């Protein structure tokens, strides 16, 4: 593999090495997958553009060897571009838009399902997004690049798995600290739908929607197979859901301690204590863990 990279143009080899190092760091460190992907995308963008200031031909090399093209499905050439195109961006605004969504969605999802599954959904979503775009523009030689398909895969997964959770989200230029996932994603999809008509060319709309659908499908299968289960008392959870368990003064005091406590271990203990003492808010019977025989589930309702 290293010999193959060495035989490529310098900038192409450099980008491949940056991506490879990123994956090695992910596998051998405690850093979040999302954090490393943000850094890798940024380093690739800076490297390409700094070198292009001295050697403008680099943009042509990147377009030919690293950006994806639908024609490659027919010729079998440059299949590595299915990966590398996810780390290329046309300009700073393209990069910034994708990285902001990756940060907020990726960190929120990864804190719930972990590094491995976040990585699988990200890369698979990007691959599905690219295939969706290539089918729509079959045989085209127009370069395709950007992490948006992979990011949309994460978005599809989180809205399927945790639609009622609250996460911070950027809506255009406004930072909303607590928004329900389904509402935030719904608003974003409406904007994407509008862009199909407002910006019909130059944007890989098919890739966006294919990546989103791919993320949902992957999330469906891994949830159905029982391969993921969030840490029900993780720091990232929307703790306001415990308010429905408050039924007397004592439970209210416990709830207040959960909200106010900064130490994770202590917070977790108070959560477990509240659940042990709680009554089902639907039928009034004692909860069995976080569930009740009437069908109530604290983590889903």
**Distance from C-alpha of 119 to C-alpha of 78, rounded to nearest angstrom:** 23
- Same-domain check for residues 259 and 193: no
Look at residue 240 in the predicted model and tell me its pLDDT: 62
Domain co-membership, 281 together with 196 = no
**Of 180, 199, 224, which residue constitutes the final position of a domain?**
224
**pLDDT tens by residue, 24-55:** 999 998 899 999 999 999 999 999 999 889 88
Within this chain, do residues 167 and 288 fall inside the same structural domain, yes or no?
no
Q: Which residue has the higher pLDDT, 232 or 85?
A: 85
* pTM confidence score: 0.75
Tally the domains of the chain: 2
* Cα–Cα dist 152/35, whole Å: 17
78: left (phi over 0), alpha (psi -120 to 50) or beta: left
Sign of the torsion formed by the C-alpha atoms of 63, 68, 74 and 75: positive
Last residue within a domain, chosen from 201, 224, 247:
224
pLDDT surpasses 80 at 112: yes
H-helix or E-strand containing 169? strand 166-171
233 versus 220: the higher-pLDDT residue is 220
Choose one of 179, 206, 224: the last residue of a domain. 224
Tell me the percentage of the chain whose pLDDT exceeds 70. 85
Q: What is the pLDDT of residues 117-152, one digit of tens each?
A: 999 999 999 999 999 999 998 989 999 999 999 999
- CB neighbour class for 224 (10 Å; exposed up to 12, middle 13-18, buried from 19): exposed
pLDDT in tens, 58-106: 888 888 889 999 999 888 888 999 999 999 998 899 999 899 999 999 9
* DSSP tag of 106: I
| 9 and 51 belong to one structural domain | yes
Asked if 101 and 197 sit in the same domain, the reply is yes
CATH code of the domain covering residue 28: 1.20.1540.10
Domain that includes residue 59, residue range: 2-224
Contact yes or no for 111/235 (Cβ under 8 A) = yes
What does the alpha-carbon distance between residue 30 and residue 171 come to, in Å, rounded to a whole number?
30
pLDDT at residue 200, rounded to an integer: 58
Does residue 136 sit in the same domain as residue 239?
Answer: no
Domain co-membership, 126 together with 269: no
Q: Verify that 9 and 140 share a domain, yes or no.
A: yes
């Amino acid at each position: 593999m290293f010999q193959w990279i060495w035989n490529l143009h310098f900038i192409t080899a450099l980008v491949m090495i940056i991506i490879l190092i990123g994956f090695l760091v992910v596998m051998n460190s405690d850093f979040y997958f999302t954090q490393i992907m943000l850094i890798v995308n940024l380093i690739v963008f800076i490297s390409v553009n700094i070198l292009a200031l001295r050697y403008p031909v680099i943009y042509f090399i990147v377009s030919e060897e690293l950006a994806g093209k639908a024609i490659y499905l027919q010729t079998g050439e440059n299949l590595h571009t299915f990966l590398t195109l996810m780390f290329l961006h046309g300009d700073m605004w393209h990069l910034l838009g994708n990285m902001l969504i990756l940060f907020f969605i990726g960190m929120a999802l990864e804190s719930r399902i972990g590094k491995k599954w976040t990585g699988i959904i990200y890369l698979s979503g990007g691959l599905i997004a690219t295939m969706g775009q290539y089918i729509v523009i079959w045989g085209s030689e127009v370069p395709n690049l950007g992490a948006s398909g992979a990011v949309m895969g994460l978005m599809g997964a989180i809205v399927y798995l945790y639609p009622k959770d609250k996460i911070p989200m950027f809506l255009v230029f406004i930072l909303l600290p607590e928004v329900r996932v389904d509402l935030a994603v719904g608003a974003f999809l409406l904007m994407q739908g509008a862009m199909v008509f407002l910006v019909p060319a130059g944007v890989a709309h098919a890739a966006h929607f294919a990546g989103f659908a791919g993320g949902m499908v992957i999330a469906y299968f891994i949830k159905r197979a029982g391969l993921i289960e969030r840490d029900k008392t993780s720091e990232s959870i929307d703790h306001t859901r415990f308010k429905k368990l408050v039924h007397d003064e004592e439970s209210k005091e416990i709830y207040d301690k959960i909200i106010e406590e900064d130490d994770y271990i202590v917070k977790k203990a108070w959560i477990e204590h509240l659940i042990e003492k709680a009554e089902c808010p639907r039928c009034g019977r004692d909860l069995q863990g976080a569930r009740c025989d009437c069908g109530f589930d604290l983590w889903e309702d």
